Chain A
Amino acid sequence: MSYNLLWWMFLINSLSIFLPIGISIVNYKRFDIVFQRFSLYLYVTGGVEICAVILGKLGYTNLPLLHVYVIVQFGLLSLVYYLYFDKKILKQIISILIVVFTIFSICNSLFIQNILKFNTNARALESVFLIFYVLAYFNLIMQEMKIKFIEKEPLFWVSTGILLYYAGNLFLFIFSNYILPAEQITINMWIFHAVINLTLNSFFSIALWIYPKK
């Protein structure tokens, strides 16, 4: 794949987060608390994306930013599911997972993968926890039988995007420190990451677009 094509691909990938952000800003007033918090997650992600580009242009590494962002990202996505779930046990599990993940991420950044390294351990754990949320959500909608047309359910699209993204990237997060940056496999996997990230943002956009009118 030519360098030019790769560059365009990564540019589109970086900008793709601004599509759901745009839709969320337009529709924000009609969102319930769950999607207002989800919008907040998008805004934070968009902000981090801009900061990362600026830091890169200035010649600084953006990896320390990623160490902080992963905690905030997990916290906000956890909050989305926390607000959606009614069951007390699920709320308790989410609260515990937020605490566990935050402590683990901080310890990981301090003692295992310092802030100048890619925090793959935290990303891998985040993936496992978020996959758990999605499976809990799927289980809940199949138990409750309240949704007739699942394709019209915004959180289903969000959850589908999260499941595809984090399940698809889990092994990449686990093994990325064991493969060298210049290897063909690394390039292939980051192309795959870009494609699946694009899918994630497209699914987020669909979710926010189909959000029912008041």
Chain B
Amino acid sequence: MDLSQEVNVSFLLYIGTFGMLLMALAIIFFVVIYQRRLFTQHERLQKQDLEHQQALLKASIKGQEEERERIAQDLHDEVGANLSTIKLYVGRLVSALVSDEQEPDNPLVEQTNSMVDDTIQSVRHISHDLLPPVLNEFGLIDAIQDKFDKISQTGHIKTYFLHNSPSLRLPKFQELILYRIVQEMVNNTLKHAQATFFQLELHNADPALELTFTDDGVGFDLNKLNGQHNVSHTKGLGLQGIESRVSVLGGTLNYDSAPGEGTRISIVIHPS
């Protein structure tokens, strides 16, 4: 190898190595800087998307509750009032039959009276279920206590409601959502758990509000629930409903369960 060739090789070697190293460093620098920047942007977009979804969910739940309120009101004011009027008319009809001595003891009259009474009761139940008057008037604690008492009175299951804040009042929407969550947890237990008791602890640890619901029912397999691809399908509408309502309140939800070991659901929210 002559001198000029040696110089060329040396030059190429140094320049080539320096160039490649510089390029490698530039690539690494680019990846580190842009990956962070892109990730931040990606996170911001995800956050915006989540906020948008939350807003939609909140609007949807609010709309649902307003619709329930309207139906409850209509049932109470229109259907309930009409049924009461029908009951009065039936009473008058019976009186007229008695005065005309036209078969006053007809079993049809008895049946009609009883059916009207049952329907009035049903309408009242549906209306109260849609919008418990106790909730509006006396607040969440009394509404939950009232619901638990009614379930206990059936004698099928024992209920316990423990709380540290008898005079707790929250904004109307939050009380309604929390009541719906409790209603859903209770319904799940009554429908699926085959429990002998359930218990709700409501702990007001200002500014946080903690709700812990437990039952001694059949429970469910958490691994099965988490291992499924289509989680929402597996969870069923009950748990999904609870989750979406908790997320509307900006709270956190945890559930713990195992087959034959009951279920425990903890919710923490920060009411404004």
> Which chain A residues (118-150) contact chain B, with CB distance < 8 Å?
135, 138, 141-142, 145, 147-148, 150
Given A145-B42, A163-B27: A168 and B13 within 8 A (CB)? no
- A192 on interface, CB distance cutoff 8 Å: yes
B16 within 8 A of partner (CB): yes
Tell me how many residues of A have a C-beta within 8 Å of chain B.
27
Contact B24 A167 (CB under 8 A): yes
Asked whether B12 is an interface residue with its Cβ less than 8 Å from the other chain, the reply is yes
Contact partner of B23 (CB less than 8 A), chosen from A151, A167, A169, is A167
Q: In the complex, A2 Cα to B21 Cα: how many Å?
A: 26
- If A164-B24, A168-B24 touch, whether A175 touches B35 (CB-CB below 8 Å) is no
Q: How many Å from the CB of B216 to the closest CB on chain A?
A: 33
How many chain B residues touch A (CB < 8 A): the figure is: 25
Main secondary structure of the interface of A (DSSP, over half): helix
The CA of A169 and the CA of B43, in the complex, are separated in Å by 38
- CB of A168 within 8 A of CB of B39, answer no
Check A147 against B39 for contact (C-beta < 8 Å): yes
Set of chain A residues within 8 Å of B20, measured between Cβ atoms = 167-168, 170-171
A142/B34 contact (C-beta < 8 A), A164-B25, A168-B24 known: yes
In the complex, how many angstroms separate the beta carbon of A26 from the nearest chain B beta carbon? Answer: 27
Contacts of A178 in B (CB 8 A): 1, 9
Please give the distance in Å from B169's CB to the nearest CB on chain A: 41
Whether the pair B1, A180 counts as a contact (CB closer than 8 A) is: yes
- Residues of B participating in the A interface, judged by any CB pair closer than 8 Å: 1, 6, 9-10, 12-14, 16-17, 20-21, 23-25, 27-28, 31-32, 34-36, 38-39, 42-43
Task: Write 15 A-B pairs (CB below 8 A) sorted by A numbering.
Answer: A138-B31, A142-B34, A145-B39, A151-B32, A163-B27, A163-B28, A167-B21, A168-B21, A170-B16, A170-B17, A171-B16, A172-B17, A174-B16, A175-B12, A189-B13
